[in-house]
Amino acid sequence: MNEALTPRDDIVPIESPAVWLGRDMAARNDWMYPLSRADISELEEAIARVRARGLEMLELQREDFKLPKLGAVLTGIRHELIDGRGFALIRGMPVDRWSREDIALAFWGMGRYLGEAIMQNRKGHVLGHVTDIGVDVDNPRFRGYQSAANLIPHTDIASDLVALLCLRPAKSGGLSMIASASAIHNVILERRPDLARVLSAPYFVDRREEVPEGKKPYYSLPVFNRHAGKTTVVYIRRFVESAQRFEEVPRLTDAQVEAMDLIDELAFDDDIRLDMDFRPGDIQIVNNLITLHSRTAYEDWPEPDRRRHLLRLWFAVQEGWPLPDVYFDRYEADAHGRPRGVTVPGIPPVAALEPV
């Protein structure tokens, strides 16, 4: 067997604050941070300074968006995301009274305290829009966030952190759920060490038409990757299944399918998952390397200006965990060895205020 495809034998339980159960987190609120009036005033003052200087959003650096007190809170949240539980919820951005441009500036400016925003798709979007534009989620040219379909537990493609800002919720449904991939790893290792080994060997994954120069339209990567004493996760089942459209990709084995079934089962388990019902102004941030997220299907409002709409940012974080070289067959690395997002030759970054 090719050494690169050989399951690891040195799989060990993860011991980390990132190993948590949703039932425990649901009984706590230390992972929530409600914005105070003083925080909102700081944001409004920072927005006014940016406007007075005539700065474009893509130009903004952290020093351009000074948040004397909230900035320290966001720095603490970043540390908790990287080396703690791996998720946070910031509540209370006044999206009902701010303009879309001010909302985007505040979201982007806060993000500068978390990391470097990176591109999310082949169009170069660094400010993403999670809303239903009527696509078929199983069409390999599109991605799940562009539909109202249920999204099974997954990680996003190419980032350290993922942040979602709720502008408007759906008429019904659209419940966000997250789960500790580290906790799921440990349960699988305890119950089914054979499947833990399967998940430590590469799966083939579809690039969904977002192909960097010189790369194949698919790549291979284990679901669980242990490197430098840390275990991270890469899991997008729909992309694994759609990679089967390529004749040269090996067929999924029964064990690989069984292992993915077990991940999905555990991620939806009542004890393991944590439900979040997004309110307007909520910002959910997850460490994409250690957290699975999913969403129930939803029914939207018929009026376009009432439909479910989230803004999204992906971040590379310089002080993030070291990653194995195999990650960068898909992600490519920036100058600091972090994921660069979805990079397509000749496509510049775009921060549109509406879905395009």
Domain span holding position 9 = 3-329
Tell me if 349 is assigned to some domain. no
| pLDDT tens-place string over residues 94-152 | 999 999 999 999 999 999 999 999 999 888 999 999 886 554 555 555 444 555 566 88
The CATH number of residue 31's host domain is: 3.60.130.10
Q: Is the pLDDT of residue 181 over 80?
A: yes
CB atoms within 10 A of CB 140: 16
| pLDDT tens-place string over residues 25-79 | 999 999 999 999 999 999 999 999 999 999 999 999 999 999 999 999 999 999 9
Tell me if 29 is assigned to some domain. yes
Residue 287, pLDDT score: 98
Tell me if 239 is assigned to some domain. yes
Tell me if 345 is assigned to some domain. no
Please count the structural domains in the chain.
1
Tell me if 162 is assigned to some domain. yes
Q: Which two tokens stand for residue 79?
A: 């540390």
Tell me if 139 is assigned to some domain. yes
| CA 86 – CA 286 distance, rounded (Å) | 6
Tell me if 353 is assigned to some domain. no
pLDDT > 70: what percent of the chain? 92
CB atoms within 10 A of CB 348: 8
Check if the beta carbon of residue 205 is closer than 8 Å to that of residue 236: yes
Q: Is the pLDDT of residue 10 over 80?
A: no
| pLDDT tens-place string over residues 248-295 | 999 999 999 999 999 999 999 999 999 998 899 999 999 999 999 998
Tell me if 354 is assigned to some domain. no
Average pLDDT value for residue range 326-331: 80
Q: How confident is the model at residue 327 (pLDDT cuts 50, 70, 90)?
A: confident
Angle of CA points 107, 108, 112, to nearest 5°: 115
Residue 344, pLDDT score: 76
Angle of CA points 43, 105, 320, to nearest 5°: 90
Q: How confident is the model at residue 334 (pLDDT cuts 50, 70, 90)?
A: confident
Q: How confident is the model at residue 301 (pLDDT cuts 50, 70, 90)?
A: confident
Residue 232, pLDDT score: 96
Q: Is the pLDDT of residue 195 over 70?
A: yes
Residue 5, pLDDT score: 47
> Where do the H-state alpha helices sit in 32-146?
37-53, 70-83, 100-111
Residue 252, pLDDT score: 98
Q: Which two tokens stand for residue 103?
A: 């909302």
Q: Which of 329, 202, 314, 313 is nearest to 256 (CA)?
A: 202
